[in-house]
Amino acid sequence: MTAPLGALAAGLEERLRARSATVGVLGLGYVGLPLAVAFGQAGFRVMGVDVDPSRAALLASGQSPVEDVPAAALRPLLTSGRLTVSGTADELGQADAIVICVPTPLGKSKEPDISFIVSAAEAVTRVLRAGQLVVLESTTYPGTTEEVLLPRFARSGLRPGEEFFLAFSPERIDPGNRIWALNRIPKVVGGVTPACRRLVETLYGQIIDQVVPVSSTQVAEMVKLFENTFRSVNIALVNELAIMCRRLGMSVWEVIGAAATKPFGFMPFSPGPGIGGHCLPSDPHYLSWRTRLAGYEAKFIAFADEINGGMPQYVVQLVADALNDRTRPVRGSRILALGVAYKAGVGDVRDSPALLIIEALQARGALVDYADPHVAQVEVAGETMKSVAWEAVDLGAYDLVLLLTAHAEFDPRRLAAQARLVVDTRNATGPLGTLPNVIRI
């Protein structure tokens, strides 16, 4: 039997269900901004906060730096006052629920850097009042919510689960995915008490089709790390398979395609030039760091990191071998890299393997240009490179064209027909069959 809520919790639950509550979102990046817009469109008053003054000013003017949130969705909320944007958290004391969506990068030694979480927690501590729900969405190691946030909030003298409410819900946004929109992705939630869990279920139940409660914040934190560790390990496996297949003289893509016909017990993953983005390069290390403190070394994570981390250099060697087979050295060769974003359909270059590959080819003396319709310019080895226009570029002017990101704009037929030599790391040209000028990873 569910225990009855106290007066503060019951009042907050009622306001959440009526959508008369005010929701604060701290951090308006690729996670926080879609959430803020979703809450605003559901009828909540939303207070958006981003401590980056340029981002806050851009958003306040009605422009969106997040590709998944068009300005057309943002502006009506700003005009109506349903959404406000600020550069400070000073007014979050007025919010009934506060959702923290700040970055969690890795340090230089691949240890967790939760400094943004700590700063956000301190900001919330200064404005925390009775009757508020605080939810952490930032990916982090199991225990962060109760070990880092809870003690800070408890300094206020308020009692968790009775006078304030604390929960964790891992973000699951997939940038660029037009099929799995935010409301369609099931939302895992865990609270520090049953009342906290019930309130966070109610909060997300207003904008998400399915909310999945778990027994604790630690379980919810582990869910996110397991999801991305699962992906990292399986990507590493298929990357190693690609290397093995090349050594054995067969196509890894044919092997994967045939294996994928099995209707049970198999899930296809695709090899590529390496992993990048906001999650895969860092999340498994959060888990391995935490388990190391508990006296256990996460072996699969280390092996996967070694294989995935070696793929950029493997691609560089593929390029060198392809040119060598045509009596061309890397030094002095003109190479066009297609795509620098870490995945198709987005302009995010965080930890993109394409940047490592371009830098390594330049270090070998190659003359490298890039084309990416989603990334106008990018920093490589301290130098700014600007994208050439895919629509106008003369592919035949390059000794080799290297496909690194399979953006929809890159027509594989044009690529295969006009380029002298292609190294395709994404199998974009696969449907065209075997081609004499195309080498696939």
The set of catalytic residues is 279
| Residue 274 parent element (H or E) | none
Nearest one of 179, 276, 272 to 228, comparing CA atoms: 276
Nearest one of 309, 310, 311, 335 to 322, comparing CA atoms: 335
Q: Which residues lie closer than 8 Å to 105 by C-beta, 6 or more apart?
A: 113, 282
Phi and psi angles of residue 383, each rounded to the nearest 5 degrees, phi first: -115, 145
Paired strand residues for 314: none
Task: Report strand pairing: 22-26 vs 97-100.
Answer: parallel
Q: How far apart are CA 288 and CA 164, in angstroms?
A: 32
Structure token pair of residue 156:
């206020």
Q: How far apart are CA 135 and CA 196, in angstroms?
A: 9
Tell me how far the alpha carbon of residue 58 is from its chain's centroid.
Answer: 22
Phi and psi angles of residue 35, each rounded to the nearest 5 degrees, phi first: -65, -45
Count of Cβ atoms closer than 10 Å to residue 269 Cβ: 16
Position of tokens 């994570």? 301
Q: Which residues lie closer than 8 Å to 25 by C-beta, 6 or more apart?
A: 32, 33, 35, 36, 39, 46, 47, 48, 49, 98, 99, 101
Q: How far apart are CA 384 and CA 148, in angstroms?
A: 39
Answer left, alpha or beta for residue 351, where phi above 0 means left and psi between -120 and 50 means alpha.
Answer: left
Phi and psi angles of residue 147, each rounded to the nearest 5 degrees, phi first: -95, -25
Structure token pair of residue 407:
């953006």
